[in-house]
Amino acid sequence: MCDKYFTIKNLPNDVYNAVGRIIRSAQEWEQKYKKLATVLNISVKNINKSSLNKLNEALKKHNLISKKDYKNLKEVIKIRNYINHEFYLTDFQNSASDYDIYIGTLEKNLNSAQFLIFEATDVIDNKIDKLQGDNIVRPTIFD
């Protein structure tokens, strides 16, 4: 399903680096959301401080996003929030008795999160491009 962006060989540094890259990708995704809201001229209070959930809700409220995209993006937002707020307290702290299984689970979860954030960014980029008259559509797993 997804590419392998991260390999954990040096614990905990490889995990810290992976989470940092995921957070950076999520912040770039958030900037794209804000750009889309701006291009669509959606009234969002304090857009520069708006969360992904708030922006996604605003698109839904104004019928500027399909129900399918809204739902899919909402799920990716949950994954992003999980990485930001829970990952270190759950997956990272929950070391399995088998080290290889533990590392494999960490890799799988981190790689999946990165992949889904990239795919969600493509969904938003496709919407921006379409509004700007570009006909190039990036295929995503959500299509």
Q: How confident is the model at residue 135 (pLDDT cuts 50, 70, 90)?
A: confident
Q: Which domains does the chain have, with CATH numbers?
A: 13-131 (1.20.120)
pLDDT in tens, 80-119: 999 999 998 888 887 767 899 999 999 999 999 999 999 9
Indicate the Cα dihedral angle 24, 137, 116, 18, nearest 10°: -30
Asked if residues 111 and 4 have their Cβ atoms less than 8 Å apart, the reply is yes
Share of the chain above pLDDT 90, in %: 73
pLDDT in tens, 113-130: 999 999 999 999 999 999
CA atoms within 13 A on the CB side of 51: 9
User: Distance between CA 65 and CA 58 in Å, rounded?
Assistant: 9
pLDDT of amino acid 1: 53
